[in-house]
Structure 1
Amino acid sequence: MQEWIKLSIRIGTFGFLKEFRPEDPYITSYLTGPVMNINETVVMEIFYGTMTACEVAYYTYIYVKVDKQHYQAVTSHMRAAALTGRFMSGLTGQTLLLLNIMDIAELNHLTFIGMLAALIWAISLPSMKHSLYFHRDSENVQCNDISTDGSIKIENVNEKKQHGKYKAALFRLWSDFKHAYTNPYVIKWSLWWALATCGYQQVMSYVQLLWTDIAGKENAFYNGAVEALYTIISAFSAFMFGRCKADWSRPDRGELLLGVLTLTEGSFLLWSSFSHSIWEGYIVYIVFGALYHIMMTVSNSEVARHIKSDSYALIFGVNTFISLVLQTSLTYTVAADGGLKFNIREQFVVYGSYFCCLGILFLCKCVFSILFDRFNKSSYNL
């Protein structure tokens, strides 16, 4: 077995464990119920920062360890592993509830065990030889640090390391940032990534409230089964798409994919916002999530393929931070007391329209790119 596949399995195991949270499909009912009695406007926002930090580390660690030719494959492995963990999480929770072995509150114990196991497994993973932007000893020893007898002047080296470490780190950060975000190709995929992730997290945060509005709190009993079905379909789709060999730099492939699938997501969300059938709501959730994970598999690998080595965490972190800022703004605008304070169905009209506009934007970009390429070829032939 090749080394990159072995490492992919080890890191994927961490992804599986960190997503094993049987309480998640019922978290809204639990937090807004009599046990916790938390206001709906703050549900799912809890622990979001920690989860986001884990996501960035999870999807960037592997890129430092494998060659770029394997990026799309390992991205699909990582996403499939995490989604499989969520599948087992939903299946376990649903089974335990059906058999009356545990209630919703008691599922928290299994969630804690999953998080503890993920922590222990993470500690066992091979560490980096050096930090990405600090403590690169070999770069700090200059020619004038060598004495006439050939020995290194330790005191000068240490002093220069301490003085120049932060300056050098800031320079590398700015250099990597500038290299990535002056590349139109990286900007294009990062733009979709940040905007789509903002919308995805918003939908995931509030979808259980929509289900409650459609069918009442009793529907939460089957949320685990729906979560299991959604994640296993998404895991299979992401894994198979990772094996698809395509030149995503071509607008009739990359931009067309983003445009069509994002527009489809938006259409399904609009459908769910007017639906009065919980089963239609479940179908929308499954399709929406599967399409998102397919596109994110391609997006992650394409961004990683076109940026500097060792800058993955920086760029992925910036993209995630932008999506979080956008999500905060969107939440404040449509759901918070200081904003429009739409009801849950009106919110999903906004989210559906948001994805439709994003899809149309990339379809227009696709058409423009194709016409521009044809015009250039015609001019060249003339």
Structure 2
Amino acid sequence: MDGSGCINTRGWVYPTVLLCLYGFFTFVRPSEPFLTPYLTGPDHNLTVEQVTNSVFPVWTYSYLAILFPVFLLTDYLRYKPVIILQGLCYIIVWVLLLFAEGVSAMQGMEFVYGMVTATEIAYYAYIYSVVDAEHYQKVTSYCRCVTLVGFTVAAVLGQILVSLAGVSYFYLNVITLASVSVAFVASIFLPMPSKTMFFHKRMEKEPVQEASSDPTPQNGQDVDKEKDTANSHFFKVLWLLCKDLKRCYSSKELIYWSLWWALATAGYYQVGNYVQVLWEHVEPAQNATVYNGGVEAVSTFLGALASLAVGYVKVNWEVSGELALAIFSAVDAGALFLMDYSTNIWMCYAGYLIFKASYMLLITIATFQIAVNLSMERYALMFGVNTFVALALQTILTLIVVDPRGLALDIVTQFLVYGCYFAVITGIFFVRSMYILISLYCKKSEDAIKEQTRF
């Protein structure tokens, strides 16, 4: 151990293996693609309207409310306690799904799941605090790849068990509970980081020699002074974060990439939250075999291929980036309209595959464009803010479109709204791309005229 009582984390293999185990088992959730059929089936007997209008919106509201304080506490508490909390919340979610009944209990389950998603940042940030910078690329690929593998394995396993073995949705949830319990145990053995990206990184730079010259406090004043120093440091870091945030959004290009990120992610979350309800409307689970797990597996695989392809495409994103955002946002809108107007479940599935792959392609481009222009700390900050804005937009969508206090639209009309929402995004970035291209054309023309007048 080091002087602060933390485990020496110089070796990168041990924490990486443990974190990968944690990530894999938290994503092995074979019951998740079948959540809506499970809640509306004999195990819970909720109506589609209760699930759509009363249960699912709670996740959006809780995620938004919890995200910002969790973002700060994650760094302040040095990641590991938050990862353990996430593992515990996973267990609570599936205990409630298995043994609790009624709308109120499922609303409580969605609230806890909001805590699960809000604390995901700890998983993706932890590894950078316990390994050297030379291993960042390697461990990042491992940690992100293992979640993809876990999700795909879970979706395929769930589909096989439902289609070929006739396993009930209840026992899929039992398997999920066992998996997240293994993940929780793995999280306990993670090494405790001695530094973080924000609070503890800066704290290490402050001089400590004078404070340690007399190790024996003579009265309670020393303790009060330490508390004041800690509070002062906390607010100092918050002030520095605000200054960093201002610098992050001082670039016009980053603002537009972040705008698309927030707008599209809000729509993506909304579609992902309610797509099973649409599938249930088009092809009720009681009438036919449900292939939700297979669709989720294929869509994740296509999304991974699309994301991978970005690394091999040579494009001047500064010139063509907004046009790409407009084109693929139009693809997303078309896919949603296809899902909305189709009465065939396979056409619905196909629309979802196109929608998810297109979004994964663009979010990878946006992430790359933002990351290459920022330090790790500022990227994490910008990621958190963009996600918060996306959740705020999703909350507005939920209140207007889904919530009983709003319009409480039926699921078909909802997806018509989501298609129009992406069509608006298309319009915004199409206008922006035309402005860039026309400006470049005019600039080239002016340069050509100036060149001619020189002679």
TM over 0.5: yes
**For 1:101-116, what aligned pairs fall within 5 Å after superposition?**
102-116=167-181
Distance 2:376 2:354 in 1: 34
Using the TM superposition, name which of 62-71 and 93-102 deviates more: 62-71
Paired residue secondary structure (1:111): helix
- Tell me the residue number matched to 2:54: 42
- Tell me the residue number matched to 2:81: none
- Tell me the residue number matched to 1:349: 416
Percent pairwise identity: 33
Distance 1:248 1:8 in 2: 35
8 Å Cα contact 2:18/2:189 also seen in 1: no
Distance 1:303 1:334 in 2: 31
**For 1:166-205, what aligned pairs fall within 5 Å after superposition?**
166-205=234-273
Question: CA shift at 1:322, angstroms?
Answer: 1.2
Distance change (3 Å), C-alpha of 1:196 and 1:163: closer
- Tell me the residue number matched to 1:335: 402
Distance 1:224 1:68 in 2: 38
Using the TM superposition, name which of 325-334 and 61-70 deviates more: 61-70
Using the TM superposition, name which of 217-226 and 349-358 deviates more: 217-226
- Tell me the residue number matched to 1:364: 431
8 Å Cα contact 2:54/2:403 also seen in 1: no
Using the TM superposition, name which of 77-86 and 360-369 deviates more: 77-86
Question: CA shift at 1:285, angstroms?
Answer: 1.2
What's the RMSD between the two structures over aligned residues? 3.3
Distance 2:16 2:435 in 1: 38
Paired residue secondary structure (1:191): helix
- Tell me the residue number matched to 1:131: 196
Work out which of the residue numbers 27, 42, 59 in structure 2 matches 1:19. Answer: 27
Paired residue secondary structure (1:250): helix
Distance 2:340 2:231 in 1: 58
Distance change (3 Å), C-alpha of 1:81 and 1:193: farther
**For 1:90-105, what aligned pairs fall within 5 Å after superposition?**
90-100=155-165, 102-105=167-170
CA deviations 1:146-166 (Å, max 9, x no partner) are 69xxx8577889577335312
8 Å Cα contact 1:176/1:311 also seen in 2: yes
Distance 2:250 2:135 in 1: 23
- Tell me the residue number matched to 2:153: 88
Distance 2:116 2:261 in 1: 17
8 Å Cα contact 2:155/2:296 also seen in 1: yes
CA deviations 1:318-366 (Å, max 9, x no partner) are 2111111111110111111121222111111110111122123222212
Question: CA shift at 1:210, angstroms?
Answer: 1.0
Distance 1:256 1:77 in 2: 32
Using the TM superposition, name which of 95-104 and 347-356 deviates more: 95-104
CA deviations 1:156-204 (Å, max 9, x no partner) are 8957733531232122211221111222222222111111111111111
Amino acid at match of 2:35: I
Distance change (3 Å), C-alpha of 1:174 and 1:35: same
Question: CA shift at 1:51, angstroms?
Answer: 3.7
- Tell me the residue number matched to 1:53: 118
The number of equivalent residue pairs is: 372
Question: CA shift at 1:56, angstroms?
Answer: 2.9
Distance change (3 Å), C-alpha of 1:337 and 1:146: closer
Distance 1:36 1:80 in 2: 34
Question: CA shift at 1:267, angstroms?
Answer: 0.5
**For 1:1-382, what aligned pairs fall within 5 Å after superposition?**
14-38=22-46, 39-40=50-51, 41-44=53-56, 45=59, 46=110, 47-61=112-126, 80-100=145-165, 102-125=167-190, 127-135=192-200, 136-141=202-207, 158=226, 161-162=229-230, 164-218=232-286, 219=288, 221-238=290-307, 240-244=308-312, 246=314, 249-252=317-320, 254-381=321-448, 382=450
8 Å Cα contact 2:319/2:437 also seen in 1: yes
CA deviations 1:87-119 (Å, max 9, x no partner) are 111111111223436310111111112222333
Paired residue secondary structure (1:328): helix
